[in-house]
């Protein structure tokens, strides 16, 4: 019996199974069990899990909180669009808005200090991707996504949107400075 010549008896499930087929079936079942048990194991012991939180909010409330932070901690403006560069104190709540097609404002954080980074969208679903690091989150309207970050390198980091959000998606790049 092969895939090219059908079995002589049409009731194929009554045909004996070859030992090679039994070996491959057993190997697939064992591998499936290993992978099934690895998922909860890595969830508990893996260091790749972010310590994030999510809260319901409205775009207006989130924009008000972000604007209050910008008004209080702006140190300069940058880019041709005069985006504020905000330097909040260590340990504080830091807000960043995703909107067509901007990450607003630009943040300046201190190396080795922890911050609670709040992310929300005012319009569509966006993806927060911190480059060249591997930090990725979904940013959804109506939700305040919070993650605790502690920068461990100085430099300029790009924030890009990794969820297609329209015609200006390729221009949606923000900045985070770590000094």
pLDDT tens-digit readout, 51-68: 678 899 999 999 999 999
This prediction has a pTM of 0.72
* Minimum mean pLDDT range among 18-27, 72-81, 83-92, 109-118: 72-81
> Is the domain defined by 52-178 classed in CATH 2.60.40.420?
yes
List, for residues 111-128, the tens digit of each pLDDT value.
999 999 999 999 989 999
Name the band, by pLDDT with cuts 50, 70 and 90, for residue 106. Answer: very high
C-alpha distances out from residue 6 to 1, 11, 14, 98, 152, Å: 6, 10, 14, 59, 63
Transcribe 17-42 into DSSP letters: PPHHHHHHHHHHHHHHHHHHHHHHHH
> In angstroms, rounded to a whole number, what is the distance separating the alpha carbons of residues 68 and 135?
26
- Classify residue 170 by its DSSP letter: G
pLDDT reading at 74 higher than 60: yes
For residue 99, the cross-strand partners are 102
Predicted local confidence at residue 81, as pLDDT: 78
Tokens of 116: 């609670």
> In angstroms, rounded to a whole number, what is the distance separating the alpha carbons of residues 104 and 174?
7
Name the band, by pLDDT with cuts 50, 70 and 90, for residue 7. Answer: low
Tokens of 74: 């702006």
Average pLDDT over residues 3-18: 73
């Amino acid at each position: 019996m092969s895939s090219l010549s059908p079995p002589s008896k049409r009731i194929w499930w009554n045909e004996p199974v070859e030992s090679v087929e039994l070996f491959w079936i057993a190997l697939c079942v064992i591998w499936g069990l290993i992978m099934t048990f690895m998922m909860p194991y890595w969830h508990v012991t893996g260091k790749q899990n972010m310590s994030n939180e999510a809260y319901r909010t409205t775009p207006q409330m989130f924009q008000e909180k972000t604007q209050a932070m910008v008004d209080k901690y702006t140190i300069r403006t940058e880019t041709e669009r005069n985006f504020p560069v905000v330097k909040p104190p260590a340990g504080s709540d830091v807000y960043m808005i995703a909107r067509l097609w901007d990450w607003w404002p630009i943040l300046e954080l201190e190396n080795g200090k922890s911050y609670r980074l709040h992310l929300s969208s005012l319009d569509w679903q966006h993806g927060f991707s911190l480059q060249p690091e591997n930090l990725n989150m979904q940013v959804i309207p109506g939700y305040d996504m919070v993650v605790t970050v502690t920068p461990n390198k100085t430099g300029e980091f790009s924030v890009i949107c990794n969820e297609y959000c329209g015609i200006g998606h390729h221009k949606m790049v923000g900045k985070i400075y770590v000094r």
